[in-house]
Structures are given as structure tokens and as C-alpha cells.
């Protein structure tokens, strides 16, 4: 396990983020999930965030990521939700039919630290999202 560091500290901050589509509309397929992941990977370096694992089901995504202590996680989540909502609706116009009032993501989200379970268990859980 690699511990991160900066000029004044060492740290290992892993988070499990769950974002749900508004009203749990089932809009995600593999292609759209991959695009949402690409958007995440493009925005995350600006916030000292590194994607570890990504998984999806029809109505939500699971994201395992690492962050720095100075990361403004709520600002990042809001920036990601805003950018991904705008881009996904633009690039996949057919999903607008499944949305309510143009809202893509639910306002709320679930953010968990992963200290309670070994990371391999969390990774396995995320990798199996959407599988029966």
C-alpha cells in the first residue's frame, strides 16, 4: 500500500462516492458510464483527486478515489456533477426523455471513507456493480 505525501504530511485518504440519477432513472449503460468516468478523470487532477475504481448500475455510479487533505471534496463533487450532467445530456440527448425537468443527478450523494473494509473488498464490490 502506497502512502501519499506532500511537503508537510503523509496520508492515505480513500473515499467511496455514490452518485444517483435523479428519481433513480435507469439511464446508464456501459458506454455512458465510460464517458462519465472520462469526465471524472479529466476534472479530478484539478482537485488532487485520483480515480481508483469505477462501477455503475442503471441508475447510479460507484467511484473509489484518493484525495489529499487539502482537497475541497464537496466543491469537486459539485463541479463533477455539474459538468457531467451538462455533457452527458448534450452527448446523449435520448436520456432527456427519462429525466425530470432536465435534472440528471440527485441533489444528494453518499460519500464514505473506506477505512472500515479492506480496499480489495471495496474494489471487488464496485467492480461487480450492475452484475447479477
Low-confidence residues of the chain, pLDDT below 70?
Answer: 1, 116, 132
Distance of CA 14 to the CA centre of its chain: 13
CA 15 to chain centre: 10
pLDDT score for 1: 66
pTM score, whole prediction: 0.86
Q: Cell numbers for 31, please give them.
A: 458506454
Cα separation, 12 vs 118, whole angstroms:
13
Rounded CA-CA distance 40/13 in Å is: 18
Dist CA 4 CA 102 (whole Å): 39
Give the pLDDT confidence score for residue 4 in this predicted structure. 85
Amino acid at each position: 500500500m502506497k502512502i501519499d505525501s506532500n511537503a508537510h504530511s503523509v496520508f492515505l485518504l480513500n473515499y467511496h462516492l455514490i452518485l444517483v440519477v435523479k428519481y433513480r432513472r435507469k439511464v446508464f449503460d456501459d458506454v455512458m458510464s465510460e464517458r462519465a468516468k472520462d469526465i471524472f478523470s479529466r476534472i479530478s487532477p484539478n482537485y488532487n483527486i485520483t480515480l481508483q475504481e469505477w462501477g455503475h448500475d442503471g441508475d447510479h455510479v460507484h467511484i473509489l478515489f484518493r484525495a489529499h487533505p487539502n482537497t475541497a471534496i464537496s466543491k469537486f463533487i459539485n463541479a463533477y456533477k455539474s459538468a457531467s450532467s451538462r455533457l452527458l445530456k448534450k452527448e446523449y440527448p435520448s436520456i432527456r426523455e427519462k429525466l425530470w425537468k432536465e435534472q440528471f443527478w440527485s441533489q444528494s450523494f453518499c460519500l464514505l471513507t473506506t477505512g472500515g473494509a479492506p480496499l480489495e473488498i471495496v474494489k471487488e464490490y464496485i467492480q461487480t456493480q450492475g452484475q447479477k
